[in-house]
Structures are given as C-alpha cells and as structure tokens.
Amino acid sequence: MQKTLFLIFLYFVTSWSSFSQEITLKRVEPPFWWTGFKNPELQVLVYGKNIGKTDPSVFAPGIELKLVHVMDNPNYLFLDIIISKNAEPGSFPIAFYKDGKKVTEYLFELRGREEGSAARKGFDASDVIYLIMPDRFSNGDPANDNREGFLEKTDRSNPNGRHGGDIKGILNHLDYIKDLGATAIWINPLLENNMLKYSYHGYSTTDYYKTDPRFGSNDDYLTLSYYIHQNGMKLIMDMVFNHCGLNHWWMTDPPAKDWFNQSPEFTRTSYRAATVSDPYISASDYNQFVKGWFDVTMPDLNQANPFLAKYLIQNSIWWIEYAGLDGIRQDTYPYCDKNFMAEWDKAVLKEYPNFNIVGECWLLSPGGISYWQKDAPNLDGYNSHLPSVFDFAMYDALRLGFMENDGWNTGILRLYDVLSQDYLYHDPSHIVVLADNHDVDRYLNSQKNDIRKLKMAMAFILTSRGIPEIYYGTEILMTTGVKNGDGEKRKDFPGGWPGDSVNSFNASGRTPQQNDMFGYLHTLLNWRKTKEVIHTGKLTQFIPRDGVYVYFRHNEKETVMVALNNNENDPKMLDRKRYSEFLDNFQTGKDIITGQTINNLSNIVIQPKSALILELKK
C-alpha cells in the first residue's frame, strides 16, 4: 500500500515536472511588420507556455535582436528588434532555444511599405464623416452571424443583442453613402469582442489584432478599405486603449502584475473627465477616474506599463499601415494615462505627419475640451499632441438652443457663445462637430421629432467651422427606440437585413418626409464637397438678435451667408443694414438648398425654425 502511494506520488511529480517544462508558442504580436519606418525599433510580444524560459535568437541581414525582456510571468518574452535601413522585405525566423536545442520558431515577415504610405492625408474640414454602428447597419452575410467558439449568438429581437450587421453590409452600401455625399466613414470598433453579452458595440476588445469573425475577417476589412478608397472616401478606425474586454486572453494570464489597474475592491471610474485637467483635484478622485474600471466587463489597462504602451503604439501603426487608414477615433481619451496618450500621438504622427486622430474627450465646455487638443496653452504645461477633439460643447448647445426661447443667455445664443470661446483651442477649424452619435439619444428625439430643428442643426454643423460628423440614419429620420438600453440608440437601418419589409436605402422605400431629409443632406453635402470657403474660409459671426443668428464664411474668392431663425412661428426679415459690412459687396444670393436666386438682398425673409444658406454674388 505504502509503495503504491509512493509510486502514484512519483508519477504526479514526474508528470508535473514534464508538464511544467512544456514549451509552446501561441502568439507573436505584432504578427508581422514593415521595413522603412522612421523608428527602427520594434518590440515583439511572444506568448506561449514557458516561452520565457527559452533563449530566442535572430539571424538575418539588417535585423538585430537587441534585447530580450524576461517577465515575472514565464509565458511571455518581449523582444526588442532593430530593423536597419538596409533590411529588405522578406521573412526571417525567430528561433527559441532551450538547453542548446531549438524548441520552436516563428517566421516573422517584414513587408515593404506602399509608396506614399507615410504621406497619407488624414480627414479634415473638407470631409463629412458618416458614423456607422456596424452590427446595426446592414447584414451582408447572414452566414457569419453565429460562429463556433463565439459566446454571444445573434438575436435581433433583443435591442441590446447582436443583430448580425457586418463588413459586407457596409461594403454593399458604399454607393449609398457616397451618393449621400459623405467623404469619410467612421465605423465603431470591429475588433474581436468575444463576450457573453452586450458584445455587438465592439468596445470590449478581446483581441487587438483580429477583426471579429461575426463582422468578417481582417482580409474583409482590407477589401472594405480598398473600396472606400476606390469611391474617393476615407476610413477612420475606432480604437479603444482605456480598457479591453473581460474575456481578453491577457485577463487569465497577464504579462505583468501591473498590466491592469486593479483595486482590492472593484472600483468603477467616476466618468468625470474634468478630473484630469482640474487644478484642484484630490488624488483619490483622480485615481478613481483614471484607474477605475469602465465597467465590470471592461478592465482598465495601465498604459503606464512600458510594455503595454509600446504594444498599443505598435498596434495603431500596424492597423494604419495594414488597412490603409485615414484616421483614428480614440475612445474615452482622458480615461487613459495622459502622458502615454501624448507619446502615442507623437509616435503615430512621427510616422504619418499628415494623419488625423480625434479623441473622445466628452466634456461640455470649450475649456474642458480644448485642454486635450495639441499645443493648447494649458496651465499645467500638458501637451496632449492630439490633433482633433469632438466639440461636445456645441453638441450640448445644439440640443438646448433650438428648444429654448431666445433670451439673454438662452436659445440660439448658445451656439454663438460656444463659437466665441474658440480662442481656447489650438485649432478650432480641426475639431469634429456633431449633433449626435451612438452614445446619445438621436438628435431628432432631443428636439421632440421636429424635423425643422434637425435641418437647422445639420445646416449649422455643415457650414460653421470644423469637421462635421453625421450619425447613420439621420438622413432617414431614424429615432431612438423606447425600450431600455443603449441598443435603442443604435437601431437597425431599415432594409439592411434580408427580408426587411422596408428598404430605406432606396428612395422608393422611403416616406416623403424621409426623402425630403435625405434630399436636404444630399444637396448640402454634395455642395459642401467643393466649397473651400466652408473648409478653410474665415468665420465672422453676429450676436443673435430676436432669435436670428447670422454668420458668414468668407475667403478672397467667395462669401457664404448663413442665417438661422430660431423663432417658432414668425418669419423674420433680414436687417440688411446690420450686415452691411458683408452684404454691401454683393448684389444677389443663391439659396443652395432650393437653387433659387435672391435678387434683392434687402428683402430676405427667413422662415421660422429654419436655416438659409446663401452663396453671395457680385
């Protein structure tokens, strides 16, 4: 009996020992790279059982394995590789040795960069961004709705479930988006989100290098990028560095103890972004905001860890180069380590100096937002290096302004007031203006379904300064649903699914009201495409009076007058004298919506709750 027990014990000890010595190679990230970047350094994450107990080696001309970082966790190695200027595209093996024997190897590919890759021009004020929630736009491939090994299955009856929209669905409707007149497409995250539920929105990344197969493959994303560019449009990728999904493979086996921000008890962020720029903030409030988790299912990444920092920087560059991106929208920007974010912007812009990145800095005052745009004169000396931010101050003003009566500091004056604080920004012409997005009630709901106010808001964001963003479905008067949850802000585009009873992608499937709205935006967007005066012209505004707000966009060649009448029922005659500094130089004006010419500038009537956009002519 004793002997048997001893033998069993011996068996477990030896099998444990051989088990513990098992060496596998599961992941190498980035999976490949390119020659010819300004920064010759690359840090490769290697993951596999006991891979940290091996000695890696690289022999290839122009390639040097400079440093091998061993972590506390034996399942990781980080390799610092130098790619010299004379390194040729091709593949080289990274070999892993144990006790002098090669146990495994990885063939690492170095690709050649496409010509002009570094010079790519990001999106700017000459663009109009169309924002798409991919699960809710169109289901082009019902065969990919459910995938083996993926936890959440498609259920279109659940407003907060997956509905099956995908990359193919967007691809199928590029002609629709192009016809509407958008020139850039921002798609909410498409990376793998293998979560049990609420996975459709894509903000719980479980793999930073892989498109979720329920949206399509990485190759499908490349195809989409190719056709977006073929159609003369730009592609903006949504990235999330503040947090990942609870089911990310790092969670069960993190590379380092400080890879995530963890507290003894679950701590949720306060969502109060002002804590970061607040000169009087307490340490505990600051830490809770930056280090608290976004949700129980969204662990907070610690970007102050230098290995994670490099991983995220390289991940962005990898996607820009791989998919030919024209821009990045970075989620929950102030929630990340702000010094890391500045380094990230600098690293990306070093490789792509004309690229654009917009950060989601959701604060409601110009001062709160402007802190985050690069080169802002901040009291604490912080420079974010972020080229663009969202104008949530104007978003707020647009929601209140057309709903209120016009008073000393209410009503349409709110729009004027926000613009008057543009001196706070390093570059107000480069910020993204919006009436709504996937996180809020649709604008039409906020205006009690008054289409006149939606048109005013669209006219404003498309003719004032900045880069306009339009949320998918605005053009067909989509509204937020009445059931609970964010899913109702992201309803399915009618006609996007096989068998839908209505197809709003076609004019014949739209109501007269929907066609009217589509036509309004179609006219405005297509007019705007070639109007340099709107893209880069100066802006001069007049203080609103009697609910009438007038501003001019002007350059040496052209002048456009925009007049908004915020009165509920009263048409207003334009007071020509008041605007004589502009109007005296012109004889007529062309209404860009109706195409009609106004021959007498002393007799301009602006209808109630409407916007008049006039191209002035000598």
- Kindly list the catalytic residues: 331, 360
Comparison of 165 and 299: residue with beta carbon closer to Ca ion: 165
By CB under 5 A, residue 166 contacts Ca ion: yes
Overall size of the chain counted in residues: 618
Contacting range for Ca ion; rule: CB under 5 A; set: 34-42, 48-56, 164-172, 426-434? 164-172
Q: Closest distance between Ca ion and the C-beta of residue 136, in Å?
A: 11
Total number of residues that touch Ca ion (CB under 5 A): 6
Q: Closest distance between Ca ion and the C-beta of residue 437, in Å?
A: 23
Comparison of 144 and 261: residue with beta carbon closer to Ca ion: 144
Q: Closest distance between Ca ion and the C-beta of residue 162, in Å?
A: 9
The C-alpha atoms of residue 181 and residue 236 are separated, in whole angstroms, by 16
By CB under 5 A, residue 391 contacts Ca ion: no
Cα torsion through 306, 309, 310, 313, rounded to 10: -160
Among 303, 304, 299, 221, residue whose Cα is nearest residue 267: 299
Q: Closest distance between Ca ion and the C-beta of residue 487, in Å?
A: 17
The C-alpha atoms of residue 322 and residue 316 are separated, in whole angstroms, by 10
Q: Closest distance between Ca ion and the C-beta of residue 453, in Å?
A: 35
Cβ atoms within 10 A of the Cβ of 584, count?
Answer: 10
The C-alpha atoms of residue 44 and residue 579 are separated, in whole angstroms, by 62
Per-residue tokens: 461:
């964001």
Binding string, residues 308-347; x marks residues near Ca ion by CB under 5 A: ----------------------------------------
Comparison of 122 and 164: residue with beta carbon closer to Ca ion: 164
Contacting range for Ca ion; rule: CB under 5 A; set: 89-97, 165-173, 364-372, 474-482? 165-173
Integer CA distances (angstroms), 479 to 302, 393, 474, 492, 515, in order:
37, 22, 8, 11, 16
Binding to Ca ion (CB under 5 A) within 107-136 occurs at none
How many angstroms separate the first and last alpha carbons of the chain? 109
Contacting range for Ca ion; rule: CB under 5 A; set: 61-69, 79-87, 158-166, 336-344? 158-166
Cβ atoms within 10 A of the Cβ of 86, count?
Answer: 8
Binding to Ca ion (CB under 5 A) within 521-560 occurs at none
Q: Closest distance between Ca ion and the C-beta of residue 498, in Å?
A: 10
What amino acid is encoded at 538 in this protein? Answer: K
Instruction: Reduce the DSSP state of residue 533 to 3 states and report it.
Output: helix
Binding to Ca ion (CB under 5 A) within 133-152 occurs at 139, 141, 144-145
Helix and strand counts by DSSP (H, E) for the chain:
15, 26
Residue 506's beta-bridge partner residues? none
Q: Phi/psi class of residue 176: alpha, beta or left (left: φ > 0; alpha: ψ in -120 to 50)?
A: alpha
By CB under 5 A, residue 164 contacts Ca ion: yes
Comparison of 166 and 406: residue with beta carbon closer to Ca ion: 166
Comparison of 145 and 192: residue with beta carbon closer to Ca ion: 145
Contacting range for Ca ion; rule: CB under 5 A; set: 108-116, 157-165, 198-206, 281-289? 157-165
Comparison of 143 and 482: residue with beta carbon closer to Ca ion: 143
The C-alpha atoms of residue 551 and residue 549 are separated, in whole angstroms, by 7
Instruction: Write the DSSP symbol of residue 32.
Output: E
By CB under 5 A, residue 181 contacts Ca ion: no
Instruction: Reduce the DSSP state of residue 356 to 3 states and report it.
Output: strand
3-state helix, strand, coil in the chain (%, to 5): 30, 25, 45
Comparison of 214 and 442: residue with beta carbon closer to Ca ion: 214
By CB under 5 A, residue 297 contacts Ca ion: no
Contacting range for Ca ion; rule: CB under 5 A; set: 71-79, 166-174, 363-371, 527-535? 166-174
Q: Closest distance between Ca ion and the C-beta of residue 266, in Å?
A: 34
Which positions touch Ca ion (CB under 5 A)? 139, 141, 144-145, 164, 166
